[in-house]
Structure 1
Amino acid sequence: MAPIFKLTDMHVRFDTPDGEVHAVCGTSMHVDPGETVAVVGESGSGKSQIMMAAMGLLSSNGRAQGSARFRNQELLGLSPRKLNQLRGKKITMIFQEPMTSLDPLYRIGDQLIEPMIEHEGLSARRARARALELLKLVMIPEPERKLRAYPHELSGGQRQRVMIAMALSGDPDLLIADEPTTALDVTIQAEILALLAQLQKKLGMAILFITHDLTIVEAFADRVYVMRKGAVMEEGPVTRIFADPQHAYTKMLLAAEPHGRKDPVPSAPVLLQADGVRVTFTRSKGLFGHDELCAVDGLDIQLREGQTIGIVGESGSGKSTFGRALLQMLPSEGTVVFQGARISGLDRSAMRKHRKALQMVFQDPYGSLSPRMTVGEIITEGLLVHQPELSGRDREARAAEALKAVGLEANMRNRFPHEFSGGQRQRIAIARAVILRPKVVVLDEPTSALDRSVQAQVIELLRDLQREFGLSYIFISHDLAVVRALSDTVIVMKEGKVVEQGPVDRIFDAPQSAYTRELIEAAFRLNTVLDRAAARA
């Protein structure tokens, strides 16, 4: 059987201020019809750039050589008009960072409908009905309302599900999925993967799955390619790779799991306290006016010096909204006190003196990094505002130190955000926050786009910074293994409310709530969910 998609001796290079970067070095791989092939490797290994090159989506400073063939048609060098006859219909792609792929000026429904009208010739009415059907398919709550919503009104996980719906709209022959479940909690992740497995059986499509999550690979893929520094280290059937890996790098990836526990915090002063925090959003009801959505409903929190509070819950539960409300980044009710001073209700100017001590790492790093600034400028921007007495040389030294601390090279500070992988951008966002030596850092899914080996490095980095500078963290994540490794206390949220909270070991070892038990069990039942989905299909 001839491959549906084949890459031969692919090279991808980028021109940067520091010279040429050889991101992909002579890589070859193939996908057969109806097959699921996974590509795994550390952040920056070239996984995504191979597919961006094949789809004609490289940035302006990038160039590709070699061959990328879809059903024996060469894609490299194909005109945009001919590529567009394939992209969005025969070949579709789920991108890693949905906020950068969705137009912020258009409603979700319009963005789903447009490609169906363009590629399938559907009427506007039929396309709208199909869009609603797709949102239901990917299990987005209140799908009729979400069709009228803008991207910023959806959670990160909901935006990612919209991208999955968009990719599936044309019943593609080949689906390229670049970290499609990164921002999804474990319950939704299992449901989405089960859905993809069912649709693959039904439509006969092939899936090329780019991911750093080896649990997903083992449960979902037929074959796997392991990449590092732009080259394939090892490839083969999933069962063989996981049972008998041959390459040392593959063995390291399989062994790299979050481990250890955070040092316990003795009785320490309360640094940040919130009481009755409530966040509501006004949302449109179309012709029938407006109503209110209560995203956070009367939450309390008490964060001590050197403590880490983990917040978990499904996508759309209000985790990120709560984190932003604590730092006064959006309007809220209730009281927030930081170091004895009430900060709730302060305007932007009055909050400025507190910003150095209160930092946030955002869930979508690309959306929070200015595309017009170099990484060095981005990281040191806070120093210019909060420590203007530092010389340019001192700022450069601090930037190099921060980059090294998060596992990046100092000379990377001259590059722009688009020249990095998603995982590298996430590390840049962490460096920007910690360079100011804050007191409190709200970390919103800071390790979601990182492979397990780098996750372990970042966890150790966060622990070291916490010990050295007495930092306090509010750690928002759907990755329960990472939460357990980093947290003292865990808060479980659902629909804007606290379902359960307590010491980390008690929450994981003896959860009281049925919802908490469901979250924990879901992290260990992915194979079962996929097996059942395959049986139903």
Structure 2
Amino acid sequence: MSKINENTVLEIDNLKVDFETNTGMVHAVKGVNIHVDSGETVAIVGESGSGKSQTMMAAMGLLAGNGITHGEVRYRGENILGSSIRKLNKIRGAKVTMIFQEPMTSLDPLYTIERQLCEPMVEHGEYTWASAKKRAVELLELVGIPEPARKVKAYPYEMSGGQRQRVMIAMALANDPDVLIADEPTTALDVTTQAQILELMADLQRRLGMAVVFITHDLAIVERISDRVYVMKSGEVVEEGPTKEIFGQPKHDYTKMLLDAEPTGLKSMVPDSNPIVLDAEKVRVEFETETGFLKPNHVLRAVNDISMEVREGQTLGIVGESGSGKSTLGRAVLQLLPNASGRVVYQGNDITGASKKKMRPLRKEMQLIFQDPFGSLSPRMTVGQIITEGLLVHEPQLSAKERDQRAIQALEEVSMDPAMRNRYPHEFSGGQRQRIAIARTMILNPKLVVLDEPTSALDRTVQKQVVELLRNLQKEHGLTYLFISHDLAVVRAMSDTVMVMQKGEVVEKGLAEEIFSNPKEEYTKELIAAAALKPA
């Protein structure tokens, strides 16, 4: 195990973090010790709520107003915990910088990339505005953004998720920091973009010699990039050591559980005699965007003549990078996009271009589960009201007592305590909220369910639980799934067949086992290599 020495650049000593709440004191971090040496990558891993992010937020002096800290945080031997804002601002953003999980919420939508890159450089007194603008272009080039001189004038919404994350890295590197703290920087990215970002960070670390603290719940990333690992559970470090030791010979049961959390196994194939639930031919979706005064509008073809056939009880996994058109395809077959064309047949009925009136009775059977359960659940409604909302539309004859009984059954089916139905979404974890979203769907007894990235925001342990839940529900009710995801481990565990998409086109299609064991197309091989999958 690495010892604290003269190369130690950041040291956290017996750190405790408490939060004052209406229901009493919450002990989020309980005496944590962490150190980082120059040039090394240290990973802090654990499930949501383990305290890993709060540990580093406290170190940076970025806790919420009700946060209370004890202990010491030493940067190059000097304790900075509890320092004044003036003193902290000389260190954070210059010597110690942080990349946050969701770049879209960290970047100001009203300012150009140039303005947001230049501001910290000028603020810390190292650059004038003129020199900062020149440096901003250099930084975008450094992090691999094409046409940096043009992109620097763009706004955040004009860039992809991967490009926005690269901007955040560029911002963090602007003042040549000693320590870069990256808090779940790749969670929302597809596997190829994720691999690019990780390679970029590793390359920059080698060139600049900085220390990196990588906060994540993705152990595949940790194994790939880190020198040492701290495993956190319930606010405490339960195990630490060199990465090879942690992965090769884990000692703590919690570490072993995390390492075993990746969804595994292959789905049993459904017989060809099962009836076809969804048959789509040459589905096409085009979006028209304005290009300027007196100029013809630009037409973007998001989905280009895609056909599919899915049988009862079958799961078709749809994979691809962000922008490949997979989510758009899912919405098109559900007749949720007015600009879609092609033929869609549901259970023998042609629903192509069907009116809202014709589709309304079918909506009960054709359901959609979204990526972000918190964003798709109304914060002003109780869980019971959320789950039974669809019944008010599709089964209006039910009494309040009957709806409540159905809510109890739906919650029990997704392994949640029915007594929780009078609570609100913010009172639940991410995994629990996703179970609520699934219960809201299952209460209507659907036949076809489109699952759009339903596990991407969840810890691996919770992912495994949700995958098992979805498998059981499918088996019990004969459900047909379109499973849209960039997480290949989850797709492999869920799918009978797989469709690989790129730029609105189908690159490769076939049985899941064949696609993952013997991919034929180069793009598919790149996706699988980037995912670093364990054996099924």
TM-score normalized by the length of structure 2: 0.82
Kept in 1, the 8 Å contact 2:95–2:178? The answer is: yes
Match of 1:65 in 2: 69
User: 92, 100, 111: which one pairs with 2:97?
Assistant: 92
Match of 2:267 in 1: 262
Query: After the TM superposition, which residues 227-246 of structure 1 pair with which residues of structure 2 at under 5 Å, given as runs?
Result: 227-246=232-251
AA matched with 1:503: L
Question: Which of structures 1 and 2 has the bigger CA Rg?
Answer: 2
Match of 2:510 in 1: 502
**In 1, Cα distance between equivalents of 2:120 and 2:417:** 38
- The 1:231–1:245 alpha-carbon spacing in structure 2 relative to 1, beyond 3 Å, is same
Match status 1:226 vs 2:231: yes
1:509-533 C-alpha deviation (Å, 9 max, x unpaired) = 232212222322333499xxxxxxx
Report how far residue 178 of structure 1 moved: 2.0
1:407-449 C-alpha deviation (Å, 9 max, x unpaired) = 79965973554x7666665555555544544333322332233
Query: After the TM superposition, which residues 74-223 of structure 1 pair with which residues of structure 2 at under 5 Å, given as runs?
Result: 77-78=82-83, 83-103=88-108, 111-112=116-117, 115-116=120-121, 118-119=123-124, 130-131=135-136, 133-139=138-144, 156-223=161-228
AA matched with 1:315: S
Kept in 2, the 8 Å contact 1:212–1:449? The answer is: no
**In 2, Cα distance between equivalents of 1:439 and 1:372:** 29
Report how far residue 282 of structure 1 moved: 4.0
Report how far residue 339 of structure 1 moved: 3.9
- The 1:430–1:127 alpha-carbon spacing in structure 2 relative to 1, beyond 3 Å, is farther
User: 298, 307, 315: which one pairs with 2:305?
Assistant: 298
**In 1, Cα distance between equivalents of 2:275 and 2:162:** 35
User: 252, 268, 276: which one pairs with 1:247?
Assistant: 252
**In 2, Cα distance between equivalents of 1:354 and 1:301:** 20
Match of 1:531 in 2: none
- The 1:402–1:230 alpha-carbon spacing in structure 2 relative to 1, beyond 3 Å, is farther
SS in 2 for 1:93: strand
Match of 2:525 in 1: 517
Match of 2:369 in 1: 361
**In 2, Cα distance between equivalents of 1:384 and 1:20:** 40
Match of 2:501 in 1: 493
Unpaired segments ≥5 residues, structure 2: 1-5
Deviates more, 1:292-301 or 1:327-336: 327-336
RMSD (CA atoms): 3.9
Report how far residue 193 of structure 1 moved: 1.2
- The 1:242–1:497 alpha-carbon spacing in structure 2 relative to 1, beyond 3 Å, is same
**In 2, Cα distance between equivalents of 1:192 and 1:181:** 7
User: 414, 419, 436: which one pairs with 1:405?
Assistant: 414
Match of 1:529 in 2: none
**In 1, Cα distance between equivalents of 2:507 and 2:190:** 16
- The 1:251–1:215 alpha-carbon spacing in structure 2 relative to 1, beyond 3 Å, is same
User: 11, 16, 20: which one pairs with 1:10?
Assistant: 16
**In 2, Cα distance between equivalents of 1:228 and 1:451:** 13
Match of 2:463 in 1: 455
Report how far residue 21 of structure 1 moved: 4.7
**In 1, Cα distance between equivalents of 2:145 and 2:388:** 39
1:172-224 C-alpha deviation (Å, 9 max, x unpaired) = 33222222222333333222211111111222222211112212111211111
Kept in 1, the 8 Å contact 2:99–2:185? The answer is: yes
Kept in 1, the 8 Å contact 2:414–2:438? The answer is: no
Match of 2:3 in 1: none
Match of 1:534 in 2: none
Match status 1:446 vs 2:447: no
- The 1:94–1:306 alpha-carbon spacing in structure 2 relative to 1, beyond 3 Å, is farther
**In 2, Cα distance between equivalents of 1:399 and 1:110:** 52
User: 10, 13, 38: which one pairs with 1:33?
Assistant: 38
- The 1:115–1:30 alpha-carbon spacing in structure 2 relative to 1, beyond 3 Å, is same
**In 2, Cα distance between equivalents of 1:120 and 1:328:** 55
- The 1:11–1:353 alpha-carbon spacing in structure 2 relative to 1, beyond 3 Å, is farther
- The 1:68–1:461 alpha-carbon spacing in structure 2 relative to 1, beyond 3 Å, is farther
**In 2, Cα distance between equivalents of 1:192 and 1:394:** 48
SS in 2 for 1:4: strand
Query: After the TM superposition, which residues 46-57 of structure 1 pair with which residues of structure 2 at under 5 Å, given as runs?
Result: 46-57=51-62
% of aligned pairs identical?
59
Kept in 2, the 8 Å contact 1:94–1:164? The answer is: yes
Deviates more, 1:129-138 or 1:479-488: 129-138
Match of 1:271 in 2: 277
Deviates more, 1:184-193 or 1:484-493: 184-193
Report how far residue 308 of structure 1 moved: 0.8
Report how far residue 488 of structure 1 moved: 0.7
- The 1:319–1:59 alpha-carbon spacing in structure 2 relative to 1, beyond 3 Å, is farther
**In 1, Cα distance between equivalents of 2:346 and 2:25:** 47
**In 1, Cα distance between equivalents of 2:58 and 2:431:** 19
Deviates more, 1:201-210 or 1:85-94: 85-94
**In 1, Cα distance between equivalents of 2:237 and 2:315:** 38
Query: After the TM superposition, which residues 350-499 of structure 1 pair with which residues of structure 2 at under 5 Å, given as runs?
Result: 353-370=361-378, 381-382=389-390, 386=394, 389=398, 391=400, 395=404, 398=407, 402=411, 405=414, 411=420, 414=423, 417=426, 429-499=437-507
- The 1:384–1:107 alpha-carbon spacing in structure 2 relative to 1, beyond 3 Å, is farther
Match of 1:533 in 2: none
**In 2, Cα distance between equivalents of 1:383 and 1:152:** 37
Report how far residue 293 of structure 1 moved: 2.8
AA matched with 1:500: E
Deviates more, 1:387-396 or 1:448-457: 387-396
- The 1:406–1:123 alpha-carbon spacing in structure 2 relative to 1, beyond 3 Å, is farther
AA matched with 1:175: L
Report how far residue 109 of structure 1 moved: 5.8
**In 2, Cα distance between equivalents of 1:392 and 1:146:** 57
SS in 2 for 1:9: strand
User: 308, 317, 323: which one pairs with 2:324?
Assistant: 317
Kept in 1, the 8 Å contact 2:370–2:454? The answer is: yes
**In 2, Cα distance between equivalents of 1:66 and 1:344:** 63
Kept in 2, the 8 Å contact 1:7–1:69? The answer is: yes
SS in 1 for 2:270: coil
Report how far residue 232 of structure 1 moved: 1.7
AA matched with 2:487: D
- The 1:212–1:423 alpha-carbon spacing in structure 2 relative to 1, beyond 3 Å, is farther
Kept in 1, the 8 Å contact 2:448–2:480? The answer is: yes
Report how far residue 363 of structure 1 moved: 3.4
Report how far residue 468 of structure 1 moved: 1.6
- The 1:300–1:222 alpha-carbon spacing in structure 2 relative to 1, beyond 3 Å, is same
Deviates more, 1:362-371 or 1:226-235: 362-371
Kept in 2, the 8 Å contact 1:403–1:410? The answer is: no
1:3-35 C-alpha deviation (Å, 9 max, x unpaired) = 424252323336367x66544333332323332
